[in-house]
Amino acid sequence: MELATNSKIFCSCSARYGAEPNESVCPACCGMPGMLPVTNKRVIELGMTAGMLTNCRINRVTTFDKKSYYYPDLPCSYQITQWYAPIAVDGGIEIETAGGGKTVGIKQIHLEEDAGKLVHDDWTGSTLIDFNRTSVPLIEIVSKPDLRSAEEVISYLERLRSLLKFAKVSDCRWEEGSMRCDVNLSIRPYGSTELGVRTEIKNMNSLSAIVRAIEYEEARHIDALECGTETLIQETRRWDDVKGQSFSMRTKETAADYRYFPDPNLVPVIIDDTWLGRIRASLPELPDEKARRYVSEYGLTEADCAILTSSRNFCDIFEEASRVSSAPKETAGWLIGDCMGYLRKKKLTADDLSLDPVKLGELVKMVNGGEVTRSAAKRILAAVIEENADPRQYSEAHDLAAQSDESAIGEAVSKVIRENDKMVRDYKSGKTKAMQGLFGCIMRELRGNGDPAVIQKLLQDSLDKIE
């Protein structure tokens, strides 16, 4: 997973996604002779956070090692990673599946630098190298062989993603490659305790592809063992999602092939109690804890809490807006109803919602105070999201203030009653639903800005007077 830092792991180049090719590079991350790496402190802290979230033990002395291999996207011909003393070891997280809950062990979490990107240019038949991604900080989370089905794998990945996103360790975007996954799979006869021959599929970047790859590999292994279709070897494979098949890339290297060696240019990082304590104190309230608190403190339903806590961004907006509006239930309603509707229309996720929480809180207050109607508030909300408009100024500029003047509303009521004799008769003959029709006509007459409570009262009075 790519860590959410501003700069790279061993130099001050920007680590942000989306720059022009080779825009974020310097002599250090390009591997120029004589340049020395300097460890980014934030990377260590995010590694500690990830370790704590997954119940790992944090190594108090953590070191970096060189992993040597040659590939054009690796300018130093070695990758700096952690082999001998990774940042965190020996943890585990709880997952839930239809079959119940279980703990998935985590062997270790290590920090390392990413490699560059090869861009194949079909037009000239050449290959170009983009070093922007070189030295972008990564954490690799290595699970123990505890997962037994594709369903468990998905549950594990989603849980991990939710934890790390919440704590802002990584933005975990599959589509931008900031979350990737190597799937290792082996099978064994029922009852056997010895793990079978393992194959690894590298660089998976979508949940649906992971499920398909696991199902394909499982079937391939079973065929090999039961029908002798091929001899399984420990190897690294590539998944082709279009063909729905995996292909052999290379036989699996052993650790010796990489000649892991402590990097003499980087000093060991010593983590003392104060530092550890500070990071532990900065851990955020996690989704489950938040959901429980929203239920008990604000009286929200569990279903609503599940939607809100699916995104840290949503939680942050909700909490701040509720503080401003002093109406958490209504605030949650606007987020879950109108904001989600807006996001769906724009094909965005809750993480993408850019909305000033103070402005949302003020808007909720305006609706609750009868200053604007719900329908006017919907228009204002769209302007707040899209143009960062100030709700009160927008309402004034567009003449959206709720009409609560009784004489103006009274006129509209009389007019609608005069012109809709059939609905009035229906109501009088016991069809109470006709009231809603009349209400709608009056609201239209007032261009959607009538104070609903006043309309309701005057309409009821007028209908009561009709024989």
- The site for Zn ion (CB under 5 A) is made up of 11, 13, 26, 28-29
Q: How far is the CB of 12 from Zn ion (least distance, A)?
A: 7
Which distant-in-sequence residues (6+ apart) come within 8 Å of 284 by Cβ? 166, 167, 168, 312
Q: In this complex, which beta carbon is closest to Zn ion, that of residue 43 or of residue 380?
A: 43
CB of 21 to Zn ion, least distance (A): 14
65-68 β-sheet, strand order: 78-81, 65-68, 261-262
Give the total residue count for the chain: 467
> Would you say 35 and 13 are in contact if contact means Cβ atoms under 8 Å apart?
no
Q: Which is nearer to Zn ion, 29 or 350 (CB)?
A: 29
Query: Which one, 11 or 353, has the nearer CB to Zn ion?
Result: 11
In the complex with Zn ion, which residue's Cβ is closer, 106 or 138?
138
Q: Decide whether 10 or 394 has the Cβ nearer to Zn ion.
A: 10
CB 171 within 8 A of CB 139: no
Distance CA 196, CA 57 (A): 29
Q: Are 459 and 424 in contact (CB under 8 A)?
A: no
Q: How far is the CB of 16 from Zn ion (least distance, A)?
A: 13
Task: Give me 219's structure tokens.
Answer: 């079937």
CB nearer Zn ion, residue 19 or residue 26: 26
Report, in Å, the least distance between residue 9 CB and Zn ion. Answer: 10
Query: CB 11 → Zn ion: shortest distance, Å?
Result: 3
- CA dihedral in degrees (80, 83, 88, 89; nearest 10)? 160
φ and ψ at residue 460, rounded to 5 degrees:
-60, -45
Q: Which is nearer to Zn ion, 137 or 357 (CB)?
A: 137
What are phi and psi for residue 110, nearest 5 degrees?
A: -125, 155
DSSP state of 7: B
Q: How far is the CB of 264 from Zn ion (least distance, A)?
A: 20
Q: Is 452 exposed, middle or buried (0-12, 13-18, 19+ CB in 10 A)?
A: middle
Cβ 81 to Zn ion, closest distance in Å? 17
Residue 220 · residue 239 · CB < 8 Å: no
**Smallest distance from the beta carbon of 13 to Zn ion, in angstroms?**
3
> Is the CB of 9 or the CB of 48 nearer to Zn ion?
9
Bridge pairing between strands 65-68 and 61-62 = unpaired
Q: Which helix (H) or strand (E) holds 460?
A: helix 452-465
For 49, 62, 227, 284, the CA distances from 45, given in Å and listed in that order, are 6, 12, 50, 14
